[in-house]
Chains A and B, each alone.
Chain A
Amino acid sequence: MERMPVFVKVDEYDDVLNLIKLIRKKLDDAKETLTKINELKNEEDHQVEMWNSTLEEIEKKIDFINHSLNEPEQF
């Protein structure tokens, strides 16, 4: 016997289409928000990197002061 295709009836499918349209809009909003978050994260990373370099610089200067006070004959 030949296999016949079986169909499923979907009522009010235009509601589903409207919902899909809405979900697409929300996905676009989420993408836009994620892009902004990424930009903020990059900016934060830049600030943290600056923090790190400044702390290293301060540490070197403190070391210099420490050596200068502890072993003044070497300078």
Chain B
Amino acid sequence: MGWLFGNKKKVPRVPFPEGLPIEEGNSFKKFNPGSLNLSDKVPKKRIIEPEKIKSAVGIDKGFNFSEDMENMPSMEEESKELPKPTLFPKFSNEKPLFMTKGEPLFIKVDVYQRLLGELDNIKVNVSDLYEANRKLASSEYNEENHFVKLKQTVKQVHDRLLQIDKTLFKS
């Protein structure tokens, strides 16, 4: 156990710095920033108080884009560069881009004419489907007739076969 507690306490060779004695009344509450001896490089004008931020940014003066607008490209130039849309672009089945209910929609005349033409074509297609349906119905009726005839024929064949069988086994 002597090796654990037997060492003597080492005294540092360099003495600790001695601070100024704290007088009564010279506490931290009465801290004087001038006593730190800092260089006063930041002027007081650079300090922006929170209530003066808006005026410092220039919001209260309003915006003036007249100079910037001259340098901006016009919308017509941009629209010329864009590719023309096809007549039947692929639309997603989700919500349309414009969903202002109750307000009228304005369509270009050529698109409107195209829509009317397509509606006429759809009407023709639907009438074709009606005709095909009528033919299918009559065909089904004929099919049913054929099926009844087929059943009768098979029954007759079966009866005749039974008769032949009977005759052959008799002899």
- The residues of A with any CB-CB pair to B shorter than 8 Å are 5-14, 17, 24, 51, 58, 65
Contacts and interface: CB of A to CB of B under 8 A. Distances in A.
Tell me if B's interface is mostly helix, strand, loop or mixed.
mixed
A9 B104 contact: yes
A58 B153 CA distance: 13
A51 B93 CA distance: 47
B27 to A, nearest CB: 76
Contacts, number: 33
Given A8-B107, A13-B104, 19 more contacts: A5-B109, A6-B108, A7-B106, A7-B107, A7-B109, A8-B109, A8-B112, A9-B104, A9-B106, A10-B104, A10-B107, A10-B112, A11-B104, A12-B104, A13-B105, A14-B99, A51-B150, A58-B157, A65-B164
Given A7-B109, A8-B109, A24-B93, A14 B101 contact: yes
Interface residues of B, number: 15
9 contacts: A5-B109, A6-B109, A7-B109, A8-B112, A9-B106, A10-B107, A14-B99, A14-B101, A17-B96
Contacts of A58: 157
A4 to B, nearest CB: 11
Interface centre among A8, A11, A14, A17, by most B CB within 10 Å? A8
A5 B104 contact: no
Contacts of A11: 104
Interface in B114-143: none
B146 to A, nearest CB: 10
